[in-house]
Amino acid sequence: MCGVAGTLRRPGAAEILVHALRHRGPDHVAVIEHGVVAVGAARLRVTGDARGDMPLRSRSGRTLVVVNGEVFNHQELYPEASPASDLIGLPDLIESEGPAVLARIRGPFALIAIDVDAETMLVARDELGVRPLFVREENDGVLAGSEVRPLASVVPTPGRDETAWDFLLAFHFWPTDRTPVAGVRPVAPGTWRRYRMCDDGVEVETGAFAYRGGTDDLAMELDRAFRIQAPSRLKTGLTLSGGLDSSAVAALLAAHGCPPDVAATGFFPGADARFDERPHARAVAHELGIELIEVPITPDHYLEAWPCVLAALGGPLAGPGAPSQWLLSRALSAAGVGVVFSGQGGDELFGGYERHRRLLQRDLGLPPTPAPGYESLLPDDVADPGAALLFRGESLLPWLEPGRRAGVLAARGALPHPGRPLADRLLDFEVRTLLPGLLAVDDRTIAAFGMEGRVPLLDPVVARLARAVPLAEKSPTDAPRRLFRALVGDRLPRAAASRTDKMGFPVPLDAWLRGPWRELLHDHPALETLPDLGFKASVRDALRSGALSGRSAWFVLSVAFALADASAVSAAASTS
Q: How many residues does the chain have?
A: 576
Give yes or no: residues 8 and 154 share one domain.
yes
Give yes or no: residues 325 and 456 share one domain.
yes
What is the phi/psi pair of residue 194, to 5°? -120, 125
Q: Which of 332, 355, 396, 330 is nearest to 558 (CA)?
A: 396
Give yes or no: residues 455 and 319 share one domain.
yes
Domain count across the chain: 3
- What pLDDT score does 574 carry? 57
Q: How confident is the prediction along the chain (576 residues), in pLDDT tens digits per residue?
A: 899 999 999 999 999 999 999 999 999 999 999 999 999 999 999 877 788 889 999 999 999 999 999 999 998 998 776 676 888 899 999 999 999 999 999 999 999 999 999 999 999 999 999 999 999 999 999 999 999 999 998 877 678 999 999 999 999 999 999 999 999 999 999 999 999 999 889 999 999 999 999 999 999 999 999 999 999 999 999 999 999 999 999 999 999 999 999 999 999 999 999 899 999 999 999 999 999 999 999 999 999 999 999 999 878 888 999 999 999 999 999 999 999 999 999 999 999 899 999 999 999 999 999 888 887 889 888 999 999 999 999 999 999 999 999 999 999 999 999 999 999 999 999 999 999 999 999 999 999 999 999 999 999 999 999 999 999 999 999 999 999 999 999 999 999 998 877 666 789 999 999 999 999 988 899 999 999 999 999 999 999 999 999 999 999 999 999 999 888 766 655 555
Q: What is the CATH number of the domain that holds 466?
A: 3.40.50.620
Helix (H, G, I), strand (E, B) or coil at 25: coil
**pTM greater than 0.75:** yes
368 falls within a domain: no
378 falls within a domain: no
Omega before residue 55 within 30° of 0, cis = yes
Give yes or no: residues 468 and 518 share one domain.
no
Q: What is the CATH number of the domain that holds 57?
A: 3.60.20.10
- What pLDDT score does 530 carry? 98
Q: Of 167, 183, 208, which one is at a domain's C-terminal end? A: 208
Whether the Cβ atoms of residue 181 and residue 148 lie closer than 8 Å to each other:
yes
Give yes or no: residues 437 and 310 share one domain.
yes
Give yes or no: residues 521 and 444 share one domain.
no
Phi-psi region of 439 (alpha: psi -120 to 50; beta: other; left: phi over 0): alpha
Q: Which domain holds residue 344?
A: 218-351+422-497
Give yes or no: residues 450 and 471 share one domain.
yes
Whether the Cβ atoms of residue 378 and residue 389 lie closer than 8 Å to each other:
yes
Query: Which residues pair with residue 341 across a beta bridge?
Result: 238, 454
Query: Which residues pair with residue 8 across a beta bridge?
Result: 37, 142
Give yes or no: residues 178 and 224 share one domain.
no
The CA-atom distances, in angstroms, between 419 and each of 6, 75, 339, 362, 363 are 45, 47, 43, 11, 9
Whether the Cβ atoms of residue 101 and residue 93 lie closer than 8 Å to each other:
yes
Q: Of 476, 497, 518, which one is at a domain's C-terminal end? A: 497
For residue 523, give every residue at least 6 positions away whose Cβ sits within 8 Å of its Cβ, in sequence order, or none.
none
Give yes or no: residues 151 and 181 share one domain.
yes
